[in-house]
Every structure is written in C-alpha cells, then in structure tokens.
Amino acid sequence: MSTTLQPYLKAVRQTLTAAICVENFSSQVVERHNKPEVEVRTSKELLLTPVTISRNDKEKVLIEGSINSLRISIAIKQADEIEKILCHKFMRFMMMRAENFIILRRKPVEGYDISFLVTNFHTEQMFKHKLVDFIIHFMEEIDKEISEMKLAVNSRARISAEEFLKRF
C-alpha cells in the first residue's frame, strides 16, 4: 500500500508547483476590489480546470487554480469510527486557528476534510517551493499523527478500563 505514497505525493507536488503560479489581479467585476478568484468564481475565464489526484477512493486531493489564488482540499484516510472522530476533531482544532496558519481555510470544501487557500499575496511574501514543501509535508505527517493519536486513545482506554475493573 505504501508503494503508492511516493508517486501520489510526487503527482501532487508537480501539480502544486504549476498551480502556485499566481499573480496579483484586480477584480474585473467590482471596481477597486482585489479578491481571490478561486473563491469568488464570477469570471469563468480566470479559473483553471480543477484537478483531482486520488490515491484510492478514500484519499484524494483537489487542486483548484485561478489567476490569483489556489485552493487545495485534502480528503484524509479514515478507516474506522475512531479515526473519523479523531480526524474531525484534529482538523477542527487547526481550522479554528486558521489565522496562525496563514494559508489555511476556515471551512473545508464540500466532500473534503481540510482546505488551504494560497493567494498571490502569500507567494509574494513566501517562497513558492517552500509552500509546496509545507503542504506535501502536511499530507505525509497527517496520517502518522492520526495513527499515533488512535494508539494513544486505545492505550488510555485500556489503562482506564483496567483501573476501573480492578475494583471488582
């Protein structure tokens, strides 16, 4: 199963490197506005074709690009109920603190667990290749983190059950 991870991440990296080519663009719909076109979606010619990269039917990444912004949505592997709950809580924790993450979106796109929004203002202040590195690193680490948390939950449950049942 893990043999699909490297090609999957490689494909995501290549797509991100191409999609992160964004430039400053003033709105052509509302005067004096400058909004991320991938969120506003009023002018179809300014949007790129969305690309979905799937590792399997449960894990996939949706990359939607536009002239001045890019939206990356990730669907994380959630094999059982515990992982679903852990993932949901973990993502919620991060999304509530989206300001500190700078590129994180407060609500995930429909059908996905977490979304990033990268605009031209971010690429002007930060290195594009490092932003891509961050997202790939995030995707690699998230599975490990959730597995670790699941193990921790299970061991805590076992210990507390043991302690409780010692009474009887």
Partner 1 sequence: MPDAHSFGVDPITCYSWNKDQTQLALSVNNNEVQIQNFANGKWSLKNTLTDHTQRVTGIDWASKSNRIVTCAADRNAYVWVQESGKWSPTLVVLGITRAATCVKWSPMENKFAVGSGNRCVAVCSYDKENNWWTSKKIKKPIRSTVTCLDWHPNNYLIACGSTDFKARVYSAYIKEVDEKPAPSNWGTTNNFANLMGEFSSEAGGWVHGISFSASGNHLAWVAHDSSICVVDANHGLKLTIVKTEYLPFMDVIWINESSIIVAGYGCVPMRFNYKDSLTFVGKLDDADSKQQPGKVSAMAQFKAMDSRAATDVETTLNSTHQNTIVQLSVFAGGKERCTKLSSVGTDGQIVIWDIK
Which residues, listed in sequence order, are joined to residue 9 by a DSSP beta bridge?
A: none
Asked if 10 touches partner 1 (CB under 8 A), the answer is: no
- What three-state secondary structure class fits 60? strand
17 binds partner 1 (CB under 8 A): yes
**What residue has token string 């302690």?**
163
Report the candidate in 83, 62, 81, 67 with the shortest Cα–Cα distance to residue 11. Answer: 62
Q: Are strands 60-65 and 69-75 parallel, antiparallel or unpaired?
A: antiparallel
97-126: which residues touch partner 1 (CB under 8 A)? Answer: 123-125
Count, residues near partner 1 per rule CB under 8 A: 23
String of contacts with partner 1 for each residue 33-72, x by CB under 8 A: -x--------x-xx--------------------x-----
Could you say whether residue 81 binds partner 1 (CB under 8 A)? no
Q: How many residues does the chain have?
A: 168
Report in angstroms how near the CB of residue 115 gets to partner 1 at its nearest. 23
Residue 55: alpha-carbon gap to chain centroid: 15
Q: Are 108 and 75 in contact (CB under 8 A)?
A: no
CB of 127 to partner 1, least distance (A): 6
Sites of contact with partner 1 (CB under 8 A): 17-18, 21, 23-28, 31-32, 34, 43, 45-46, 67, 123-125, 127-130
